[in-house]
Amino acid sequence: MCPPDTDSENVFLREKNGNLYYVVRNGKGNGRKESWYRIKDSEKDLIDRILEGKKQILDEIVEFPCMNPECRNKIKMTKEQLEEFFISYKKKYDMVVFPCCSKECRDRLLEIHGGELVCRNNKNQ
């Protein structure tokens, strides 16, 4: 059975009992349901090649500008690292992290915007 068309954020590949599955999540909150579609053995090689291509693309180096508006430096990082800054930190720690090329640029950026570096794990707060 072919999985339905769906939003890419709700689609996952999972392995269970030695079989590969295409998992589609539908709904929100307590009404969330998952539909599991077994991937045929004949399709596994194709999926492996697709995933390898995706990994190569994510490993490509990109240049990103330092977030200090007074700085013109570029920061080199992989697309995967860039995604970590903007997506993973927000999901994991509920905070947005802006990459800067140096400690001085980070401090200047915070100074410009009236912020300060806050450690949420500090027990004295």
Q: Which helix (H) or strand (E) holds 35?
A: strand 33-38
Q: What is the pLDDT of residue 102?
A: 94
Per-residue pLDDT of 81-120, as tens digits, reads 887 777 877 777 787 777 899 999 989 988 888 766 555 5
Sign, CA dihedral 29-35-36-42, equals negative
Cα distance between residue 76 and residue 16, in whole Å: 37
pLDDT tens per residue across span 7-42: 666 788 888 898 888 888 887 767 778 888 898 888
**Which carries the bigger pLDDT value, residue 82 or residue 124?**
82
Q: Is 23 helix (H, G, I), strand (E, B) or coil?
A: strand
- Say if pTM beats, i.e. exceeds, 0.95: no
Residue 99's pLDDT is 84
The answer to whether residue 74 scores a pLDDT higher than 90 is yes
* Mean pLDDT to the nearest integer, 67-79: 89
Q: Are 15 and 21 in contact (CB under 8 A)?
A: yes
